Structure 1
Amino acid sequence: MQLVSSGGRRLRHAALVARELALETGRTVTRKELSAAAREAAKALNLKSGARWVLSELVACWGEQEWDRLLVWPSNDYLVTRTGKSERAIRAAFRVLIDLQLIVPKESPNGKRYAVKDLAGEIIDAFGFDLTPVYARRGEWAERLIEQKQAREARKRAFDEITIARRAAEEALSALAEHHPELDRSDLEEQVKGLKARTPARSMKVMPHDALDQWTALRRACEEAFLKAGNGGEIRRHTNNNNGSPSKPCNKSFPKKAEAVRSIEQTSEHLSPELILEACPTLSDYGQPVRDLADIVSAGRYLRASLGAHESAWAEAVEEVGPVRAAIAVIYVLQLYEDDAAKNGGESRIKNPGGYFRAMVRMVKAGKIDLAVELLAMRRRRMS
């Protein structure tokens, strides 16, 4: 059985809980303050339009009396006129607001809503709805809104990572098709197509954890396929051919102004400025003479912006593989981008060269790509 209040409204547990909320002693709430709390509550609770409009009109009826409870008493007819909703919709909105502990009904003996006046005609009490919970819980609304903002940011980051992984996978397959058209890549292409269909849209308010894991794995598979194809079916790691004494500095043959290059960085003897210039004529965009590795580093730092890569990408690359290989990776990716654009009527299939650069650096660090081998292959293709 359900208990029924004296005014005929069914008693709800939420109304009893909300009734315990109170204002600070001596606190006078203005309509502007109450309206701001109501807007935050509507956002925090994701109120639908009907309940949101009714709550807004209830707040507008607050007369800023110096009471310990925020009482309003508009009739259903008044609310129907103000909101354009039917009386049935108004009653449904009341139930929602009561269940969410936003308002508390204060019933009169006859079930009507009205003000109680003293002999002088001053309003001293009222029967209607108590809006005290809306204002008393304003700290809760602020916390919920912060949590929702953090959740939106986390969801955005997850979808951004999915976009990066998807583009990298598609670029790896495009490179595989361009450089190794004889290899069967249909299985990977079907996986990309199927995963794109299953990936939720950004507009959906879900956390795409599963999709992100799947795209990360698929990106790795596509890049591994391209890597293995470029190395004759094998993944070769860079070998250090420095047989000299470990006490001797490995950069002793560098020009003096190349001393800015980290002394711990062991650069392949094949990564000479001459090779880079022959393989990557785009280096001429630097506009300065390139005579040694120090000039290569300067050129790479300058041309980084041409890839659309953020400055943090350059800093990460320098930290991971050293300034020389970071600069060569910039120049190499820029040349790939321009070569592909030249072959496809000015539109490159590498849609995100900055992301391609980051991926290249990671593979260089992991030993999956040898920049000297890639430059030699690029020079050979250019000279053939």
Structure 2
Amino acid sequence: MNSDNLTTPFGRRGVSIGLLATQFASRNIDPARSIDKWKLFRATCEARPHLGISDRSLAVLNALISFYPKAELSEENGLVVFPSNQQLSLRAHGMPEQTLRRHLAALVQAGLIIRKDSPNGKRYARKDRSGGISDAYGFSLAPLISRADEIQSIAEKVVEERLHLQRLREKITLCRRDIVKFGEIAIEDQIKGDWDRIRNRYVTLISSLDRKSKAPFLELLLADLSKLRAEMANQLEKHVESQKISANAYQNERLIQSSESESLIEDEQPAAKNEVSNVELAATNQASKTVSAVRNSEKDLEAVSKAGFDLATLLKACPEITLYGPGGAVRDWNDLKHAGNVVKSMLSISQSAYDEAEQAMGTQNTNAIIACILEKSDVIQSAGGYLRTLTEKSKTMQFSIKPMLMALLRARMTSHLSPARSLC
């Protein structure tokens, strides 16, 4: 009803070929077709990035649709709504009239509604003798029906792109976790490999990652990280295989030795005694080194408890942060800040959480806390939430970084002391 009539706008507003094309398309609506207006509106919200409208324009469209009396849009029931600007403003959450006019123009320009202006520019409806609406002037929702299939297709594409982006980020997160864990194994077990090159390559890759990265970039990044993970897994697999071979060779050697004659065993007893002596000497040297490390840690603890902490003490308590500095090292506070930015992204700490902490505790303390969080990342479920909690406590003088550093230093003392006790 009324949607098949071409119309031009009232006053000085002009008309373009694009607006006429929208009206031509709206004349070809199937009279028997009806569409749930709110399902169509939700699809329009999903397709918004490709329709060239803002979220506030959608708020105005939502208000216009709310004036349509039926639950389904159809040609049979008419497609023109005629609320006043004051009524529209109330349903658009009090939007100012000037802003309302601008967003109405944006919806017309995007081809989602059509102006059907009366001779004097007013919006109203005329009724016939039976009480039905014979003519209505206002805004026609006919383009929503004529473009319903297009809007639904765009919405499905947007949803699929969003899910694809989410899957890419999940896979990248898994790759990053595997690479970090593989690196920890390699360092802890002193496995041979070009780990410095791999670490530098990893830091270079993730330094360019941010929350606004698009799917094409994430696909390339995922491919590079997958190659890096595969390379590390291959090195670890080779190490495991070599360990198996060494273990089999050792077992074979034991079998051969046990089959020798008793006289041969007796001849080799002096050599065995020398071997035991060498083992005891090595154990004594290791114990001496451990005691020295413990004494140094005790000095660090005493320095932290009396005064504060310097960069060297921080790196002794949190050595993992050095892996993410420029060139794989932290030489000064600027290097620590660079490493903190990398780790912040890796642990999914938001920029707002970092800025709030920096404002409350200072740049050095904030990056030092991030280094501590990295050390405890295996037991901290939400690094961003943990940092926000510490920030709030620091504002009320309930938190100081000193106890955290002292706890990490004590933990390192314990780890140094345990081997020494086992050798005694």
TM-score scaled to structure 1, two decimals?
0.52
Aligned residue runs from structure 1 range 281-292, under 5 A: none
Q: Which residue of 2 aligns with 1:42?
A: 45
Match of 1:18 among 19, 22, 30: 22
Q: Distance in 2 between matches of 1:225 and 1:219?
A: 10
Match of 2:66 among 36, 60, 77: 60
After superposition, the Cα gap between the structure-2 partners of 1:70 and 1:204, relative to the gap in structure 1 and judged at 3 Å, is farther
In structure 1, stretches of 5+ residues that fail to align are 240-269, 271-343, 349-384
Q: Which residue of 2 aligns with 1:146?
A: 156
Kept in 2: contact 1:50–1:89 (CA 8 A): no
Kept in 1: contact 2:9–2:116 (CA 8 A): no
Q: Distance in 1 between matches of 2:231 and 2:192?
A: 18
Q: Which residue of 2 aligns with 1:358?
A: none
Q: Distance in 2 between matches of 1:91 and 1:105?
A: 12
Q: Distance in 2 between matches of 1:165 and 1:128?
A: 56
The answer to whether 1:167 aligns with 2:204 is: no
Aligned residue runs from structure 1 range 85-100, under 5 A: 85-100=95-110
Q: Deviation at 1:204?
A: 5.3
> Could you tell me which amino acid in structure 2 is paired with residue 51 of structure 1?
S
Q: In percent, how many aligned pairs have the same letter? A: 25
Q: Distance in 2 between matches of 1:9 and 1:60?
A: 26
Q: Which has the larger radius of gyration?
A: 2
After superposition, the Cα gap between the structure-2 partners of 1:81 and 1:134, relative to the gap in structure 1 and judged at 3 Å, is same
Aligned residue runs from structure 1 range 178-217, under 5 A: 178-180=188-190, 185-201=195-211, 206-207=215-216, 208-217=218-227
Q: Distance in 2 between matches of 1:169 and 1:50?
A: 44
Q: Deviation at 1:176?
A: 1.5
Q: Deviation at 1:217?
A: 2.7
Kept in 1: contact 2:67–2:81 (CA 8 A): yes
After superposition, the Cα gap between the structure-2 partners of 1:104 and 1:9, relative to the gap in structure 1 and judged at 3 Å, is same
Aligned residue runs from structure 1 range 252-331, under 5 A: none
Q: Which residue of 2 aligns with 1:79?
A: 88
Q: Distance in 2 between matches of 1:142 and 1:6?
A: 32
Q: Deviation at 1:37?
A: 1.6
In structure 2, stretches of 5+ residues that fail to align are 1-7, 249-374, 380-424
Could you report, residue by residue, the CA deviation over 1:215-237 in whole angstroms, capped at 9, with x for unpaired residues? 12322343455466x39xxx99x
Structure (1/2) with the larger helix percentage: 2
Q: Deviation at 1:104?
A: 0.8
Q: Deviation at 1:195?
A: 2.1
- Other structure's SS at 1:9 match: coil
Q: Distance in 2 between matches of 1:105 and 1:146?
A: 28
- Other structure's SS at 1:108 match: coil
Aligned length: 240
Kept in 2: contact 1:73–1:128 (CA 8 A): yes
- Other structure's SS at 1:167 match: helix
Q: Distance in 2 between matches of 1:76 and 1:16?
A: 24
TM-score scaled to structure 2, two decimals?
0.48
Q: Deviation at 1:198?
A: 1.6
Q: Distance in 2 between matches of 1:206 and 1:95?
A: 33
Q: Deviation at 1:85?
A: 0.7
After superposition, the Cα gap between the structure-2 partners of 1:227 and 1:36, relative to the gap in structure 1 and judged at 3 Å, is closer
Could you report, residue by residue, the CA deviation over 1:206-256 in whole angstroms, capped at 9, with x for unpaired residues? 44122112212322343455466x39xxx99x99xxxxxxxxxxxxxxxxx
> Could you tell me which amino acid in structure 2 is paired with residue 8 of structure 1?
R
After superposition, the Cα gap between the structure-2 partners of 1:137 and 1:66, relative to the gap in structure 1 and judged at 3 Å, is closer
Q: Distance in 1 between matches of 2:195 and 2:32?
A: 74
Q: Deviation at 1:40?
A: 1.8
> Could you tell me which amino acid in structure 1 is paired with residue 89 of structure 2?
V
Q: Deviation at 1:127?
A: 1.3
Please tell me the root mean square deviation across aligned C-alpha atoms, in Å: 4.1
Kept in 1: contact 2:29–2:75 (CA 8 A): no
Q: Deviation at 1:99?
A: 2.3
> Could you tell me which amino acid in structure 1 is paired with residue 143 of structure 2?
P
Q: Deviation at 1:119?
A: 5.7
Q: Deviation at 1:72?
A: 0.8
Q: Bigger CA drift: 15-24 or 112-121?
A: 112-121
- Other structure's SS at 2:137 match: strand
Match of 2:112 among 102, 105, 126: 102
Kept in 1: contact 2:31–2:75 (CA 8 A): no
Aligned residue runs from structure 1 range 218-237, under 5 A: 218-226=228-236, 230=239
- Other structure's SS at 1:85 match: coil
Kept in 2: contact 1:73–1:127 (CA 8 A): yes
Q: Distance in 1 between matches of 2:22 and 2:134?
A: 22
> Could you tell me which amino acid in structure 1 is paired with residue 177 of structure 2?
R
